[in-house]
Structure 1
Amino acid sequence: MIDPLDDAALDRVFRTARTYNGYTDEPVTEAELRQIYDLMKWGPTSANQSPLRIVWCTSDEAKQKLAAACSAQNAPKVLKAPVTAILGMDMEFYEKLPRLFPHADARAWFVGNDGLIKESAFRNSTLQGAYLIIAARLLGLDTGAMSGFDAAKVDESFFAGTTVKTNFIATLGHGDPASIFDRLPRLDFEEATSVA
């Protein structure tokens, strides 16, 4: 039997954690980005597919390129954040399955099945993006996941010549409390679930 985490840990990840729109000037180091990845990579995906591919935009040049593909509301967030992660999905993730899932010919499940490839890449890279948010929070960083960008432009700027397509983006840093809105409501158990 595994003991539940204490309330402080649950608060940090979910109950009091917030989505940030701005950050302090405190930098995020490459060592911290590696810590995030080394924690989040253990989150489960279907048949260990692990389709997520990340570009960490830390340089002014990378931030400018990404901001140019973002909405007017999101571009300033990207420019000011210490890091923005582009969370992409490798549409040929199945080529790594002989190593990642060696006890079955999982690659054969996907080759030539574009519908299954798209569905699996999107579902599992989204799961991995959520693990990134949780890992960042556990390691003392804040995040701001976003849509509001032109995916084709992001793909052209960061994934040209590859099999990776953009899923979503997320800013990272030490959150500025002045940048958050009042806490928004969530659906109650009875509204969102049923027990069958």
Structure 2
Amino acid sequence: MSAALPEAALDQLFRNARTYNHYLDKPVEGHVLEAIWDLVKFGPTSANSLPARIVWCVSDEAKGKLAPLCSSTNADKVRKAPVTAIIGMDVNFHDNLPEFFPHAPAMKTMMDGLPELAREMMALRNSSLQGAYFIIAARALGLDTGPMSGFNNAAVDEAFFADMPGVKSNFIATLGYGEPGTPHARLPRPDFARFNTVV
């Protein structure tokens, strides 16, 4: 059995962690992006489906291509952040099941028989899980994120996933080392009794 994380780790991952819109002028090195993925990939997904496909916009060219496809407030965030990750989802994730879920070869056949909408819902659910793992992994490695919607999904898909059939954008997130003192005050969070039921 694993031991509970120390309070300082829980503070870093959850209690003191914030959504950032402003970052220090400090690059995020490529090996750090790989380290984030090397944590994300271990988070659970249905049938080890791993449908997330991430495009890391690091260059000015990539950020310049993404920013105009975002709302006006988000466009500025994309341009200024060291990195913006586009968290995509592969609706053809089942093509990889023979590799990622080899002990149950019938799983791919079953997925082949599902309507595309059902597979897309599964891809959305599990890529969203992987997006959450991305946020936690980044925080665990000392970085901050600013997840957001507020962009033209179809235009982002055409601009960044045109060579990846079946891949669609889910959400985007800026990434970097947050500038201290810039987040807004913490918004309300409900206690356990309000939204939880134990039966």
Normalised by the length of structure 1, the TM-score is 0.98
Residue 38 in structure 1 maps to residue 38 in structure 2: yes
Deviation at 1:115, TM superposition (A): 2.6
Distance 1:161 1:128 in 2: 22
Equivalent position of 2:189 in the other structure: 186
Structure 1 residue 122 corresponds to structure 2 residue 110: no
Q: Which residue identity is paired with 2:151?
A: F
Task: Write the distance in 2 (CA, Å) between the matches of 1:134 and 1:123.
Answer: 17
CA offsets per residue over residues 89-110 of structure 1, 9 Å max, x none? 0110000000100111211122
Amino acid at match of 1:190: A
Q: Distance in 2 between matches of 1:19 and 1:35?
A: 20
Q: Name stretches of at least 5 consecutive residues in structure 2 with no aligned partner.
A: none
Could you say what the CA RMSD is over the residues aligned between the two structures, in angstroms?
0.9
Contact 1:110–1:116, Cα closer than 8 Å, also in 2 = no
Structure 2 counterpart of 1:10, which letter?
L
- Report the CA distance between 1:178 and its aligned residue: 3.6
Once residues 194 and 170 of structure 2 are traced to their aligned partners in structure 1, the CA distance between those partners, rounded to angstroms, is 28
Aligned with residue 151 of structure 1, among 150, 153, 156? 153
**Unaligned 5+ runs, structure 1:** none
Matched, 1:19 2:19: yes
Q: Tell me how far apart the structure 1 counterparts of residues 121 and 154 of structure 2 sit (CA, whole Å).
A: 18
TM-score normalised over the length of structure 2: 0.96
Structure 1 counterpart SS, 2:72: coil
Partner of 1:4: 4
Q: Show structure 1 runs of 4+ deviating over 4 A.
A: none
Give the Cα separation in 2 of the matches to 1:97 and 1:186. Answer: 39
Aligned positions of 1:72-111 closer than 5 A:
72-104=72-104, 105-111=106-112
- Counterpart CA distance in 2 for 1:123 and 1:142 is 23
Q: Provide the identity percentage.
A: 59
What is the CA-CA distance between 1:190 and the residue it aligns to?
1.1
Q: 2:15 & 2:42 partners in 1: Cα distance?
A: 23
Q: Distance in 2 between matches of 1:188 and 1:109?
A: 41
| Cα deviation 1:28-61 (Å, max 9, x = unaligned) | 0001000000111100001100000000000011
- CA displacement 1:42-81 (0-9 Å, x = unmatched): 0000110000000000001100111011000100000000
Larger mean CA deviation between 120-129 and 105-114 belongs to 105-114
Count of aligned pairs between the two proteins: 196
Distance 2:84 2:163 in 1: 22
Q: Which position in structure 2 is the counterpart of 1:57?
A: 57
CA distance change for structure 1 residues 87 and 100 in 2, over 3 Å: closer, same or farther? same
Distance in structure 2 (CA, Å) of the matches to 1:191 and 1:185: 13
Amino acid in structure 2 at the alignment position of 1:27: P
